[in-house]
Amino acid sequence: MDVLIVGGGLSGLAVAAFLGARGVACTVLEQEREVPRAPRNHLLTDATMRLLGSAGLDEPVRRIALDHAGRLFALNTLADAERTLLRTPTGGVSCNEHELEVLMLAEATRLGAEVRMGVRAADLDAEYVIAADDGTIRDSLGIGVHGSGTLGHLHTIRFRAELEERDGFLVRAVGGILLPEEPGTWSLSVPEAGDPGELVVKALGADMPVDLLGVTVTEVAARVADTFVHRRVVLMAKSAYTLPPAPGLHGNARIRDAYRLAEILGGEAPLDAYDRERRPAADQAMADALKERYSP
């Protein structure tokens, strides 16, 4: 079987690893030269860990899991003693998406995938094309989308600071979310652009030494493709859907998509089963994400 995966993000690498575990080789093209450092998904549920286990990834993931309780509190600034608990995850592990993708890339390669970093896909000449890209392939095929569309942007500041905390926080002073990343490193995601240093100081509620590492801007959108399968092209990642960050675990849904697609390509069901099963799941996740969005 000839499988070309366009986009080596979480979705593309996950499907490559799951296919590899079934003995199906594939080629992954990723336009970036390196796995991005930007803070993204954290929580991997127990169900996701079981899926990762099928490709031998559960133990390595546990080894790189963050010492992060996964709880989310609301407070005015980090200097505040008064905190309201918003979420305590039951089970699962907390893992930085960068570390997870580095691991998946290594595992997919070990299982037979050819992952070509720094290569932008130009033609889609393969028996099966998996569009795990940013929506470009979906648009080029004329596949429409539905949902609320663009809702705003998330400005994520990555910084280093000596903080004693291990939890995540919804910080009212900046209307943003502060999360622990790799040891000593934090991310602050806010809905408005601003001076990163000032925003971090305002969120911490204390003028302490902070080392700014970078800012990434992500579109916040609610958008699902009208079909996930077009002839031999299968949509994943943002080509399939973009959901607003919310308690809904979108990174976990991406891994479920990848697992099911590997099963289907392995012969467990016809290709259109992926559209029949995963598109309604994405529509439901979009409705949940819109309903459950935290507001400071």
Q: Which residues bind ligand FAD (CB under 6 A)?
A: 6-12, 29-32, 39-43, 97, 120-121, 132-134, 136, 154, 156, 189, 218, 237-238, 245, 249-252, 254
Could you tell me the smallest distance in angstroms from the CB atom of residue 81 to ligand FAD? 26
Residue 281 has phi, psi (to 5 degrees) of -65, -40
Comparison of 36 and 270: residue with beta carbon closer to ligand FAD: 36
d(CA 112, CA 38): 27
Comparison of 82 and 228: residue with beta carbon closer to ligand FAD: 228
d(CA 245, CA 293): 7
Q: How many helices (H) and strands (E) does the chain have?
A: 9, 16
Comparison of 212 and 267: residue with beta carbon closer to ligand FAD: 212
Which residue number places its CB atom closest to ligand FAD? 9
Residue 220 has phi, psi (to 5 degrees) of -100, 120
d(CA 190, CA 106): 32
Could you tell me the smallest distance in angstroms from the CB atom of residue 201 to ligand FAD? 20
Comparison of 82 and 295: residue with beta carbon closer to ligand FAD: 295
The angle subtended at Cα 125 by Cα 262 and Cα 146, nearest 5°, is 65
Contact 56, 33 (CB under 8 A): no
Comparison of 82 and 108: residue with beta carbon closer to ligand FAD: 108
Could you tell me the smallest distance in angstroms from the CB atom of residue 250 to ligand FAD? 4
d(CA 259, CA 51): 7
Could you tell me the smallest distance in angstroms from the CB atom of residue 145 to ligand FAD? 15
Comparison of 233 and 237: residue with beta carbon closer to ligand FAD: 237
Strands (E) in the chain, as ranges, are: 3-6, 27-30, 43-44, 72-75, 84-87, 93-94, 114-117, 128-131, 145-160, 168-171, 176-180, 185-190, 211-225, 229-230, 233-235, 241-242
Could you tell me the smallest distance in angstroms from the CB atom of residue 121 to ligand FAD? 4
Could you tell me the smallest distance in angstroms from the CB atom of residue 188 to ligand FAD? 10
CA 117 to chain centre: 19
